[in-house]
Structure 1
Amino acid sequence: MKLATQDQNFFPEKIIDKFRYLKDLGIDGYEIDGKMLVENIEEIKSAMEETGIEVKTACNGYDGWIGDFSEERRKNGLEELKNILYALQKIGGKGVVIPAAWGMFTYRLPPFTPPRNKEGDWNAISDSLLYLEKVAEKTNTSIYLEPLNRYQDHMINRVADAREYIEKNDLKHVKIVADFYHMNIEEDNILVTLQNNKELIGHIHLADNHRFQPGSGSINFKQCFDQLRANRYDGYLAIECRIQGEDAEHEFKKSLAYLKSILDC
């Protein structure tokens, strides 16, 4: 297993400087914004060659969710996701992280009644995934479907929800993102969920129980990493979190040291 990270506010702005900074930190991979990748592919390839930092996954960087209530936004998002997958192919990337939606609707807050019924949700997401499945097959990449917690999305909250879309649509190029923060809210037992879905979990997102940096909350990451080892998971663990503390860079480095220490156990 290797460590990757998404961007943080204190990272350098220039692409080559970001990659050099990550190399100095001893991080293996960079989970890149999809739009940034598409618009700067040659510069990113050059930075990868110089530093050895891998870009295996993209996250964000597109407009329109795969489960968007607006058909125009949904289809626009699919075209942008297609471009991201083709860009990933050019740099040897593995796939793009995609939730059903984020912040569009939740049953936990008013108005409580969504503008579309559950059958409509299923049809929209399935149509999107079947479209992206064909693109992923052509580009030898994957779709990493990410369940979000009930306060951020109403359609795919648990790993079992994502699994249902994969199995009922017979999707071969769609895997599941196991995000410890979301699983902490939604799953009865994170370790059991990791074990029971080991053949479909293709990517990991790291944040602690309160969404801040790993090691600052209550999740037992050593147990989780031990379970992933038992599952023979050999992919990336991508840090996707906010930073708690007055000195964000210091706290990030402290969390990184913590993660490395339990990875080396």
Structure 2
Amino acid sequence: MTTAGGAGALAFVTELAHEARTKGMTLGLEICNRYETNVINTASEALSLADDIGEDNVLVHLDSYHMNIEEDNFVRPVLLVGDRLGYVHIGENHRGYLGSGHLDFTSFFQALAEINYTGAITFESFSSAIVSPTLSNDLAIWRNLWNDGPALAAHAHSYLSTILKANGNDK
């Protein structure tokens, strides 16, 4: 196993994948930035771990927030993962309103369309205005980029609907 988590992480996640299979579940390996984990930080590392696990119910979970820190662009990781992509988190570089940061969502969604991804895409954002103080501390949420959850959700829905439609994936 090439990930920093080593053999212990591989054994644990392999056992988890087997248990998930008995329950008819898929296991998604989410890439997270180096400040939150040392196990898998990139799409390539997630694929390597999935290969080491060797179960077809193990897929990769890409997260644009973490990709912004760990990947060199938004296209290569999506194309690399291809049909092994099982889940997507979309979030701004600062976890605020979509389109208010510097992330290149256009190329990201074009890459998703290129691999014919039709799975779940979930918007993820945090604000200590509504998140528990414990979680805010764990995630290092030191400032609030929003305080109105319904307004944020409505904006995210509109933004995602528009960008999906623009890339021919408005299902």
Secondary structure, aligned partner of 1:131: helix
Question: Could you say which residue in structure 2 is the equivalent of 1:71?
Answer: none
Deviations 1:215-262 (A, max 9, x none): 221112222112111101110101111252354432332232111111
Aligned-partner residue type, residue 62 of structure 2: A
Q: CA 1:119–1:176 in structure 2 vs 1: closer, same or farther (change >3 Å)?
A: closer
- Provide the C-alpha distance between the structure 2 equivalents of 1:212 and 1:119, rounded to a whole number of angstroms: 30
Q: Is the 8 A contact 1:190 1:224 kept in 2?
A: yes
Matching of residue 192 in structure 1 with residue 76 in structure 2: yes
Q: Is the 8 A contact 1:211 1:242 kept in 2?
A: yes
- Provide the C-alpha distance between the structure 1 equivalents of 2:121 and 2:25, rounded to a whole number of angstroms: 18
Question: Could you say which residue in structure 1 is the equivalent of 2:108?
Answer: 224
Aligned mate of 1:214, from 98, 107, 124: 98
Deviations 1:104-123 (A, max 9, x none): xxxxxxxxxxxxxx998312
Q: CA 1:146–1:194 in structure 2 vs 1: closer, same or farther (change >3 Å)?
A: same
Secondary structure, aligned partner of 1:153: coil
Q: Is the 8 A contact 2:96 2:146 kept in 1?
A: no
Q: Which runs of 5+ in 2 are unaligned?
A: 128-144, 167-171
Matching of residue 240 in structure 1 with residue 102 in structure 2: no
Instruction: Indicate the structure (1 or 2) with the bigger Cα radius of gyration.
Output: 1
| Cα offset, 1:124, TM superposition | 1.7
Could you state the TM-score of these two structures normalised by the residue count of structure 2? 0.78
Question: Could you say which residue in structure 2 is the equivalent of 1:252?
Answer: 153
Matching of residue 178 in structure 1 with residue 62 in structure 2: yes
- Provide the C-alpha distance between the structure 1 equivalents of 2:118 and 2:11, rounded to a whole number of angstroms: 30
Question: Could you say which residue in structure 2 is the equivalent of 1:264?
Answer: 165
Question: Could you say which residue in structure 1 is the equivalent of 2:12?
Answer: 128
1:1-265 aligned within 5 A: 121-242=5-126, 244-265=145-166
Aligned CA RMSD, in angstroms, stands at 2.0
Could you state the TM-score of these two structures normalised by the residue count of structure 1? 0.52
| Cα offset, 1:169, TM superposition | 2.9
- Provide the C-alpha distance between the structure 2 equivalents of 1:178 and 1:227, rounded to a whole number of angstroms: 12
Secondary structure, aligned partner of 1:144: strand
- Provide the C-alpha distance between the structure 1 equivalents of 2:55 and 2:49, rounded to a whole number of angstroms: 8
Q: Is the 8 A contact 1:213 1:242 kept in 2?
A: no
Q: CA 1:129–1:189 in structure 2 vs 1: closer, same or farther (change >3 Å)?
A: same
- Provide the C-alpha distance between the structure 2 equivalents of 1:228 and 1:195, rounded to a whole number of angstroms: 8
Secondary structure, aligned partner of 1:198: helix
- Provide the C-alpha distance between the structure 1 equivalents of 2:165 and 2:18, rounded to a whole number of angstroms: 38
| Cα offset, 1:159, TM superposition | 1.3
| Cα offset, 1:142, TM superposition | 0.7
- Provide the C-alpha distance between the structure 2 equivalents of 1:120 and 1:252, rounded to a whole number of angstroms: 36
